[in-house]
Amino acid sequence: MTALSTPAPLQAPFMRPGMAALPGSKIREVANAALGRSDVLAFWFGESDEVTPAAVRDAAAQALQRGETFYSHNLGLPDLRQAIASYCSALHRPLAADRVAVTSSGVNGLMVAMQLLLSAGDELVAVVPVWPNLTAQPAILGAKVRRVALRPQAGAWRLDMAELLAAVTPATRVLLLNAPNNPTGWTLTRAEQQLLLDHCRRTGTWIVSDEVYERVYFDAPCAPSFLDIAEPDDRVIVAQSFSKSFLMTGWRLGWLVLPPAALPAVGVLLEYNSSCAPVFVQRGAMAALASADDFVPGLTQRLKAGRDRLLAGLTALPGVEAAVPRGGMYAFFRVHGQPDSDDSLALAQRLVARHGLGLAPGAAFGPEGEGWLRWCFASQDLARLDRGLARLAEALRS
Ligand SMILES: Cc1ncc(COP(=O)(O)O)c(C=O)c1O
């Protein structure tokens, strides 16, 4: 009898190539260090402190009481797909339910879109800094991510359109856009969207447009969307979420709008990813859409109050540089003259360890975000923002 030898301990190379290099979330790195501390004022995650509206919770609870505990169609409940199509049609150009896929969160929908389009070695061009999941997803699939940077100029984040157009060539499989942008609040104008759509029609490039903050927009009821200008058969996929505009982050529900011809393949991909979103969650979403007109504008007003309060406080602090975001839930700012001004992870770690202030380091959003900090202002309690500002002021003095 041969003795069994002890297997070698698992080390990174057991994973497929590329996985070991996948960075963990730097936001979590800061937040995890503060686990168990109740004194920290946390503004690091992208969610409001308000609970989901009662009508939405009631609808989901009633669905559970009725025993709606089974699978649904891969693409979602037909009634919900129709309700989403009607909601989008009211905001944009008319669109039919045969372009809608319900997904188990915005991030799940985005991953499915990437799986639909990207093979290993394909090129994706992304406008950055951006929510890190958006560049990690193509990297997981082995695609090459080419970054085109927004730059802060005269109090706003700006895109060099000529640079982006030059970067998107017939070799570019996907142009990835997130506007309103997390973390900068940068938005695309209608004219810029048209230019990009025309260009991508020429190069044969798909546009994946993450528009989850379209209603968290402070200049109009809705930010410009590719759904306003694209034809159903354009190579355009718009990703959406119930998380932000309906206060449903923990529910994990979103949707994609795609060309009708893409829907069958997306249904197949959803089967292998999650099979379907939970039915009671989908019922809650139907209640959310039914009350959208009553609910969303008020939420946006509260978020705008948070933005105004935080930006006024930040820009009054010596050495702070911040652009006023036109959309999204975040102030993206930098502090000059501190020993750790250029090391956002060290600065965020110092703020939480010594001052109980929880912010996200800009480096979490790519090298272009280094030296910046992100502060989520989705706080219904404005005094909480003031307390955070006081802690930042104290940190900058010490
Ligand atoms: C830009 C962006 N896209 C998508 C999402 C995904 O939202 P969810 O997965 O909660 O639907 C987020 C969440 O923070 C985000 O900031």
**Residue 366, domain CATH:** 3.90.1150.10
243 assigned to some structural domain: yes
Residue 318 alpha carbon to ligand 1 centre in Å: 32
Give me 187's structure tokens: 């938005």
> Would you call 73 exposed, middle or buried from its count of C-beta atoms within 10 A (0-12, 13-18, 19+)?
middle
Which residue lies with its CA nearest to atom 14 of ligand 1? 46
Report the chain's terminal Cα–Cα distance, integer Å: 69
Q: 264, 289, 314 — which closes off a domain?
A: 289
Contact 288, 64 (CB under 8 A): no
How many Å apart are CA 365 and CA 157, to the nearest integer? 14
Ligand 1: atom nearest CA of 242 is 11
Ligand 1: atom nearest CA of 110 is 4
Residue 356 alpha carbon to ligand 1 centre in Å: 26
Query: Would you state the pLDDT for residue 12?
Result: 59
Q: 261, 289, 317 — which closes off a domain?
A: 289
389 plus 365 within the same structural domain: yes
Which residue lies with its CA nearest to atom 11 of ligand 1? 106
Return phi, psi of residue 160, to 5°: -85, 100
330 plus 348 within the same structural domain: yes
192 plus 85 within the same structural domain: yes
9 assigned to some structural domain: no
How many Å apart are CA 53 and CA 189, to the nearest integer? 31
Query: Would you state the pLDDT for residue 20?
Result: 78
Question: What's the pTM?
Answer: 0.95
Residue 341 alpha carbon to ligand 1 centre in Å: 28
Residue 256 alpha carbon to ligand 1 centre in Å: 13
Residue 113 alpha carbon to ligand 1 centre in Å: 14
* Choice from 211, 214, 243 to test ligand 1 binding pocket (greatest atom count within 8 A of CB): 243
113 plus 175 within the same structural domain: yes
384 plus 318 within the same structural domain: yes
pLDDT in tens, 120-152: 999 999 999 999 999 999 999 999 999 999 999
266 plus 330 within the same structural domain: no
Q: How many folded domains does the chain comprise?
A: 2
Which residue lies with its CA nearest to atom 8 of ligand 1? 106
Backbone φ/ψ region at 86: left (φ over 0), alpha (ψ -120 to 50), beta: alpha
Show the ligand 1 pocket: residues with CB < 6 angstroms.
Answer: 46, 105-107, 131, 178, 182, 210, 212, 241, 243, 249, 254
Which residues in the chain come in under a pLDDT of 70? Answer: 1-3, 8-13
Query: Would you state the pLDDT for residue 2?
Result: 56
Residue 234 alpha carbon to ligand 1 centre in Å: 24
Q: Which residues of 228-255 are buried (b: 16+ CB within 10 A; e: fewer)?
A: ebbebeebbbbbbbbbbbbbbbebbbbb
4 assigned to some structural domain: no
Ligand 1: atom nearest CA of 210 is 3
Query: Would you state the pLDDT for residue 155?
Result: 77
Query: Would you state the pLDDT for residue 11?
Result: 65
- Angle 98-261-127 (CA atoms, 0-180°, nearest 5)? 95
298 plus 353 within the same structural domain: yes
Residue 36 alpha carbon to ligand 1 centre in Å: 25
82 plus 211 within the same structural domain: yes
262 plus 337 within the same structural domain: no
Domain containing 105 equals 54-289
How many Å apart are CA 360 and CA 44, to the nearest integer? 5
275 plus 323 within the same structural domain: no
197 plus 308 within the same structural domain: no
pLDDT in tens, 306-349: 999 999 999 999 999 999 999 999 999 999 999 999 999 999 99
Query: Would you state the pLDDT for residue 3?
Result: 61
Query: Would you state the pLDDT for residue 46?
Result: 93
Ligand 1: atom nearest CA of 47 is 14
Between strands 156-158 and 151-153, the pairing is: antiparallel
Residue 253 alpha carbon to ligand 1 centre in Å: 10
Q: 263, 289, 315 — which closes off a domain?
A: 289
Sign of CA dihedral 193, 198, 201, 203: negative
How many Å apart are CA 370 and CA 72, to the nearest integer? 43
pLDDT in tens, 220-243: 999 999 999 999 999 999 999 999
Rg of the chain taking only CA atoms, in angstroms = 22
Query: Would you state the pLDDT for residue 73?
Result: 97
Give me 344's structure tokens: 């956002």
279 plus 325 within the same structural domain: no
